[in-house]
Amino acid sequence: MPIIHITGLPHIVMVDDLETFIALLQEQIARIKELGIKPEDVSINILTSQNKTRDVQAIVEGLFKKPKRTHEVKQMLSKKIAAVISKFIKQQKLDIKLIEVIVKTFDPKKDGFVALKV
């Protein structure tokens, strides 16, 4: 159940475009077989910005530690996220100069975790 927080996209991006972007990102992440997740397992939070830093950051949290989720797989994940963001930026003709992606793993046996269905 990874959670991806994306910051730095300009607030001028249309909601429909963001929804399409989110769906594409979820689909592309789920295609990484070693992660063993479905698109609906990926939560994405986007915080648009009015600042003019021209940088976009994506931070992946809540990615459970598993043997198949090696450094190489996490690097593949970060590159795939950056590629999808880059494509979106180009389609939207946004003036972004840098995309940074950080992948943090999580060990539910050592860290606090609960999944409560309501």
Helices 15-30 & 71-92 angle (0-180, nearest 10): 150
The 10s digit of each residue's pLDDT in 30-47 is 999 999 999 999 999 999
Spell out the residues 6+ positions from residue 32 whose beta carbon is closer than 8 angstroms to its own.
73, 76, 77, 80
The 10s digit of each residue's pLDDT in 75-91 is 999 999 999 999 999 99
Domain ranges of the chain: 3-106
The 10s digit of each residue's pLDDT in 45-80 is 999 887 677 899 999 999 999 999 999 999 999 999
The 10s digit of each residue's pLDDT in 93-118 is 988 999 999 999 989 889 888 888 89
Task: Please name the fold of domain 3-106.
Answer: Macrophage Migration Inhibitory Factor (3.30.429)
What pLDDT does residue 10 have? 85
What pLDDT does residue 83 have? 97
What pLDDT does residue 51 have? 67
What pLDDT does residue 11 have? 82
Length, in residues, of the chain? 118
Give the residue from 58, 83, 69 showing the smallest Cα distance to 3. 58
What pLDDT does residue 6 have? 96
Q: How large is the average pLDDT for residues 19-40?
A: 96
Q: Specify whether the backbone of 62 is left (phi greater than 0), alpha (psi in -120 to 50) or beta.
A: left
What pLDDT does residue 71 have? 96
